[in-house]
Structure 1
């Protein structure tokens, strides 16, 4: 079983607190009690089973973005934007986009206890983001990652970011990325 750090869940919990008790109660009723307990008590450094994260992402995305055609994408985009605020947002504009993308594997390996990450075919306006060795990654997380990638790349200053999932091999999940 794969695990992920609870960093994104802590941000989602903070977003919920900002919306009030009604939304927190709505999420509590949508999640299994043990999953909601994890959301309420997790710390950023805690390891969370990937299936638990997927359940929370799914329900939180519907709560925050009920009318959005891609609520998981929107949640990933929003959470990534909250991770990179202040000085971090400024620093994303200093190195090249290629540098940021090449170093994403370090972040992935810090946040996941299984699987490896790489970027194939990197050019000045695109590449393929690949996660291998993580067949248990759910469709929920793969859509969420689209939003995260889009936000991080936009924070570097590039325009017209497009992220397309290539889902034909569960041993190597891929996202084709392009930008201007």
Structure 2
């Protein structure tokens, strides 16, 4: 159950950019293991998901958001915004939403391991995506991923975007499922 270092870096950058006045307080709230990872993380290496993503996201949600789901979602959006710039921005800008999401299994596998993602239904303005495997059954991970998808689709030019988490592995279901619609 691992996560790519770039995901860990994006959480650190999110807090430093969005909650800069409380950044040092956030770092003090992290465990020794999480702080050690943050101080030595390489964006291309794999790290344990608990100290790398879940614990830092939990602390940021506890400190800055009344609704932890919103905090995880916003952190995921930020991660997409940062990750889909530069050379990747061109790919996203010229992709249709369906094209991008149908390749999401390859994209998500570069950040979380192990994962298994399938597009189970798709139209010109909607899609249902199911994850039957995630590195850990955790609601914060699910909301980060949904937030990431939302920002990626906004970058693609989607308007009136709606992403609903319809099934949650963290809540005991056999899959994590999102239903996505756009204009």
Q: What interval of TM-score do these two structures reach, taking the shorter chain for normalisation?
A: 0.7 to 0.9
- Alpha-carbon displacement from aligned partner over 1:23-57 (angstroms, at most 9, x marks no partner): 34212221111112112211112212222211112
Aligned with 1:122: secondary structure? strand
Match of 1:172 in 2: 175
Determine the C-alpha separation between the residues in 2 that align with 1:19 and 1:119: 32
Q: Which residue of 1 aligns with 2:47?
A: 48
| Distance across 2 between alignment mates of 1:54 and 1:5 | 13
Distance in 1 of aligned mates of 2:49 and 2:39: 17
Q: Which residue pairs with 2:148 in the alignment?
A: 148
Alignment of 1:10 onto 2:9: yes
Quote the Cα distance in structure 1 between the aligned partners of 2:163 and 2:48: 26
| Greater mean deviation of Cα atoms: 165-174 or 43-52 | 165-174
Correspondence list, 1:29-44, <5 A: 29-44=28-43
- Tell me: CA distance 1:148–1:75, structure 2 relative to 1, closer, same or farther (3 Å): same
Provide TM-score, normalisation by structure 2. Answer: 0.84
Aligned equivalents of 1:103 and 1:72: distance in 2?
23
Query: Following the alignment from structure 1 to structure 2, what is the Cα–Cα distance between the partners of residues 40 and 147?
Result: 25
SS class of match (1:92):
helix
Deviations along 1:107-142, whole A, 9 cap, x unmatched? 122222213111110111111111113372310111
Q: CA RMSD in A?
A: 2.4
Give distance in 1, aligned partners of 2:141 and 2:73: 9
Task: Verify the 8 A CA contact 1:132 1:173 in the aligned structure 2.
Answer: yes
TM-score by length of 1: 0.85
**Gap regions ≥5 residues in structure 2:** none
Q: Give the equivalent residue in structure 2 for 1:111.
A: 111
Relative distance call for 1:42 and 1:155 in structure 2 (3 A) is: same
| Residue segments in structure 1 that go unaligned for 5+ positions in a row | none
Q: How many residues align?
A: 178
Aligned partner of residue 93 in structure 2, secondary structure:
coil
